[in-house]
């Protein structure tokens, strides 16, 4: 089979594993084999190996000498560094994206936020994580990006499994709804307020996670 025919398979496998990481379907520290992933995705090991190699380079997965794949365990220093970088990059991405957010995209952002609230009310962890991801990236991707948004994606890949692992222990009651603040900022065309809302959303959520799940 030619490389041109193999490439779409590689891409699909890569995206499937990425979606699993963002949605928290992989547990930090729990190993699986390349063959196990191939069986789960119903493909040959070759595209899985290629996808895993990419994800290891992005820091989302670790590959042992015995070809076992695992999500790295989260440490406090790594967590704190990821939070700082997320705040810096995502605030910038949101402010940069604002002029390109039209009525259709704003409607999609609002729909993702409604789904976030629906999943929170139903205690649907995986649905919440998918909807929260969709909300944020509907904002960031308003402007085409070959550097900034892909970098942010790699940070979410590293957070997803850890977030899902601790989700059931989190108490988010009492938090200010920063998504609504972000939406109102978009409606007003206020880039500084949008940036502040996104930064606060990350900071508030990560503070709760850090206090709950890390020593």
Q: C-alpha dihedral over 175, 172, 126, 33, to 10 degrees?
A: 120
Confirm whether 3-70 and 76-213 share one CATH topology.
Answer: no
Tokens 């995986």 belong to: 126
pLDDT for 2:
42
Architecture in CATH for domain 76-213: Up-down Bundle (1.20)
CB 7 within 8 Å of CB 51: no
Q: Looking at the predicted structure, is the pLDDT value of residue 8 above 60?
A: yes
Burial 81-108 (b: 16+ CB within 10 A, else e): ebbeebbebbbbbbbbbbeebeeebbee
State the pLDDT confidence band at 173, using cuts at 50, 70 and 90: low
Instruction: Please answer whether residues 60 and 158 qualify as being in contact, where contact means their C-beta atoms are separated by less than 8 angstroms.
Output: yes
What integer pLDDT is reported at residue 4 of this predicted model? 44
Across 31-35, 45-49, 65-69, 112-116, which has the greatest mean pLDDT? Answer: 112-116
Determine the length of the chain: 215
Look at residue 5 and tell me whether its pLDDT is greater than 60: no
DSSP class per residue in 83-150: HHHHHHHHHHHHHHHGGG--HHHHHHHHHHHHHHHHHHHTT-HHHHHHHHHHHHHHHHTTS--SSHHH
Average pLDDT for residues 6-20, to the nearest whole number? Answer: 84
Model confidence band, residue 7 (pLDDT cutoffs 50, 70, 90): low
Residue 1: what pLDDT?
Answer: 40
Q: Is the pLDDT score of 196 beyond 80?
A: yes
Residues 50-106: tens digit of each pLDDT: 999 999 988 889 888 887 888 888 888 988 999 999 999 999 999 999 999 999 999
Of the candidate ranges 12-21, 47-56, 166-175, 191-200, the one whose mean pLDDT is the lowest: 166-175
- Domain edges within the chain: 3-70, 76-213
Architecture, CATH, for domain 3-70: Orthogonal Bundle (1.10)
Query: Is residue 27 very low, low, confident or very high in pLDDT (cuts 50, 70, 90)?
Result: confident
Ranking 30-34, 108-112, 197-201 by mean pLDDT, the lowest is: 30-34
Q: How many percent of the chain have pLDDT more than 70?
A: 93
What is the per-residue pLDDT for 215? 60
145-148, Cβ contacts within 8 angstroms, sequence gap of 24 or more: 145/93, 148/89, 148/92, 148/93, 148/96
């Amino acid at each position: 089979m030619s490389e041109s025919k193999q490439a779409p398979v590689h891409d699909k496998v890569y995206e499937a594993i990425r979606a699993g990481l963002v949605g928290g379907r992989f547990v930090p520290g729990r190993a699986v084999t390349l063959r196990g992933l191939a069986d789960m995705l119903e493909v040959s090991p070759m595209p899985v190996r290629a996808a895993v190699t990419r994800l290891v380079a992005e820091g989302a997965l670790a590959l042992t000498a015995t070809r076992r794949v695992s999500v790295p365990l989260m440490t406090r220093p790594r967590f704190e560094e990821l939070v700082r970088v997320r705040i810096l990059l995502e605030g910038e991405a949101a402010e940069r994206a604002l002029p390109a957010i039209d009525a259709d995209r704003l409607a999609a952002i609002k729909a993702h936020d409604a789904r976030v609230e629906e999943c929170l009310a139903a205690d649907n962890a995986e649905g919440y994580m998918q909807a929260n991801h969709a909300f944020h990236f509907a904002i960031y991707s308003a402007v085409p990006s070959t550097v900034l948004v892909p970098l942010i994606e790699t940070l979410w890949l590293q957070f997803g499994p850890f977030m899902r692992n601790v989700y059931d222990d989190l108490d988010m009651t009492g938090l200010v709804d920063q998504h609504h603040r972000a939406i109102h900022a978009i409606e007003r065309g206020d880039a500084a307020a949008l940036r502040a809302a996104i930064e606060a959303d990350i900071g508030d959520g990560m503070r709760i996670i850090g206090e709950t799940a890390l020593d």
